[in-house]
Amino acid sequence: MSLTSLMRATFAALVLVLAPACTQSTLPGDGQTDLQPLPSEQLSVATARGQVRFHVEIAANDHDREQGLMYRRAMAPDHGMLFDFNPPQQVSFWMHNTVLPLDIIFIGADGHILNIAPNATPFSDATIPSDGAARAVLEINAGRAQALGIAPGDVVHHRFFNNG
């Protein structure tokens, strides 16, 4: 085999080995095993249009709250994540490493919605604060709050608020 043929064969072998790695997504968290869904529960929101129900994963500890919906690529329209903050406190969220655009709903201790940050921008490191002490935060797909008529002052029914 000539030197040129050997170089071509080596190059071809490298392309075959490296090509799959080059075509994989470089999004952090791909292939992580800790992206399993968290335990889930149901909650409802009493809106001017009636009750709206969601299946929500519960982020109840520091690790789960920090991870949140980061790296998730899809979420069903009637699903979300509920972040538990007990005792109620001023909280801020960000969208770092979060692929999905989200509506972020801040909820007071009595279940009333304090404020909604609609259509939070994926991957943004800008802070999104609650308008007061939040007992919980609900994240749902962007645009769902407006589409379903969810607004500040509406009441979220769930065991966290002793009304569910």
Region for residue 69 given its phi and psi (left: phi exceeds 0; alpha: psi -120 to 50; beta: otherwise): alpha
Model confidence at 6: pLDDT above 60: no
Q: Which of 2-6, 122-126, 149-153 has the lowest mean pLDDT?
A: 2-6
45-70 residue pLDDT tens: 999 999 999 999 999 999 999 999 99
Q: Do residues 69 and 139 touch, judged by C-beta distance below 8 A?
A: yes
Q: Do residues 164 and 157 touch, judged by C-beta distance below 8 A?
A: yes
The candidate with the shortest Cα–Cα distance to 145, out of 126, 117, 164, is 117
Exposed, middle or buried: residue 64 (CB in 10 Å: 0-12, 13-18, 19+)? middle
pTM of the model: 0.80
pLDDT value, residue 20: 36
For residue 93, what are the CA distances in angstroms to 7, 65, 96, 143, 156?
53, 10, 9, 18, 19
pLDDT value, residue 37: 84
Q: How confident is the model at residue 28 (pLDDT cuts 50, 70, 90)?
A: very low
Percent residues over pLDDT 90 in the chain: 77
The structural domains of the chain, ordered by start, are 34-161 (2.60.120.1140)
pLDDT value, residue 62: 94
Count CA atoms within 13 Å of residue 78 on its CB side. Answer: 9
Tokens, residue 161: 């608020």
Tokens, residue 123: 């991957």
Model confidence at 21: pLDDT above 60: no
